[in-house]
Amino acid sequence: MEYKTIIDGVAIFLSIFGAIIIIFGGMWAIIEILTKGIGRDTIDYKAVKMDFTSKIMMGLEFFVAGDLIKSIITPSLNEVIILGIIVAIRTVVGYSLNLELKEMGKNEGDNNK
C-alpha cells in the first residue's frame, strides 16, 4: 500500500470520527431532553448543553487533526491557505465554546455555594 493512500485514509478516518462524535452528542442531547420531558422530570439544560458542547469541541479537534494530515499529502500553497482558514475558524469556534463551558461551570459552582 502506498504511503499517500495510508495518510489519506487516516485523515478521512479522523474526520469521520469527529463527525460521529458530534452526531452522537447531538443525538444524546435530544434523547436526554425528550426522555426527561416525557417523564415530566426537571431538565437540567445547562448540563445537557455542557455535555453537548464538550462533544462538539472534541469533534472539532478530530476535524483539525484530519485537515492537518491532509495537508501533508497536498502541501500546495492553495491547500495550506485553505487549511489555515479552516483551522482559524475552528479555533475561534472551539475557543468560544470553551469560554462558554468555563462560564457555565463557574456559574454552576456559584449556585452550589
Q: Where are the domains of the chain?
A: 3-111
How high is the pLDDT of residue 113? Answer: 53
Q: How far is CA 108 from CA 36, 45, 72, 101, in A?
A: 20, 12, 43, 10
Q: Which residues, 6 or more positions from 45, have their beta carbon under 8 angstroms from its beta carbon?
A: 33
How high is the pLDDT of residue 66? Answer: 87
How high is the pLDDT of residue 109? Answer: 63
* Cell 443525538, located at residue: 27
Q: How far is CA 37 from CA 40, 52, 61, 106, in A?
A: 5, 17, 32, 26
pLDDT digits (tens, 9 = 90+) for 57-111: 899 889 888 888 887 777 778 877 877 887 888 788 878 888 887 887 777 666 6
Q: Which of 38, 40, 37 is nearest to 48 (CA)?
A: 37
